[in-house]
Amino acid sequence: MKNRWRADACLVLCGVLVWFLADAVRVRQAAAEALALCAGSVIPALFPFLIVSRLLVVMGFSQWVSPLFSGLMTSLFRLPGLSSSALLLGLVGGYPIGAQTAAELYRKNLLTRGETVRLLTFCNNSNPVFLISVLGVGVFGSVRAGVWLWLIHVAAALLTGLLCRGTGGTARDQGPARSLPCQPSSLSAAFVSAVRDSAAGMLSVCAFVVFFYVLAAPLKELGPRLGPVLVGAVELFSLTPLLPPDHLGFVLAAGCAGWGGLSVLCQTAAVVEDLPLTPCVLGKLLHGLLSALLAALLAGYALA
């Protein structure tokens, strides 16, 4: 069975390679568009957040916010209060800031493996600037629509956390998390390390955006309904110009923003490294479904 899977994968990859060679001009054009997108939107939106989020974890932000959200995180999500830093930064910074922060907390022994697995199901979320400005104003011509997309996104993320609170076992099963004191031994060293690590992470993010942008390019030709659905499942940025400014477009925008796309999942895999990706995949599927359902219920009001 394993060898059959490898053979099928090789056949698919050979087909992709033939397509790249046969349609080299369009592939090159799509890659150039994706690189311009990275330079104009992705890097300016993400790179500063990557650096600051790493610095915040190192400087003890998790311990600082822990008392404020301890009761909420424990009672709702069965997680310690310091895990709220990953959720907050993920909601503000966008993909994959939340997952990176959760992985950073795990590597510093501030969260157990089981707690990190639960956190990854709902802490990795879209940037409010993308939801409000790019989708709300750019697609639907309304800040109101963008704000509702953001509220739906946040509500669906929290609902996902509630529904996935049993993922990864209990903290008792995984061993107790250690609450380490803040140890900012050298701010300059921490800053240099944060910039270096964030640059490496940013390179991975842009590489995935370019590759999946190219893969999504031919899907745009599959009609006004099927095309956007398939493009949104693969790469989120490619979806924006395909969305119709109506109820269906609103539901599709919410659902795809919650799911994030294969590109986002690969970006997440690059930052979580040794942690399992399956809980994150299941969480994003559930997040996308809940977002679409909430958007279907609220589309008439949000677009009024």
Q: Dig out the tokens for 207 from the structure.
A: 């590489």
Q: How many CB atoms lie within 10 A of CB 113?
A: 18
Query: How high is the pLDDT of residue 239?
Result: 86
At residue 295's C-alpha, the angle toward residues 89 and 37, to 5°, is 55
Q: Note the pTM of the prediction, 2 decimals.
A: 0.83
Query: How high is the pLDDT of residue 108?
Result: 85
Backbone angles phi, psi at 12, to 5 degrees: -65, -45
Query: How high is the pLDDT of residue 174?
Result: 42
Q: Dig out the tokens for 192 from the structure.
A: 């240099």
Q: How confident is the prediction along the chain (304 residues), in pLDDT tens digits per residue?
A: 556 777 777 888 888 888 888 888 999 999 998 899 888 877 887 788 878 877 877 777 777 877 888 888 999 999 998 898 889 888 887 888 899 889 989 988 889 999 999 999 999 999 888 898 889 988 999 999 999 999 999 999 999 999 998 776 554 444 444 444 445 557 788 888 889 888 888 888 888 889 988 988 888 888 778 888 999 999 888 888 889 999 999 999 999 999 999 988 988 888 887 888 888 899 999 999 999 999 999 999 999 8
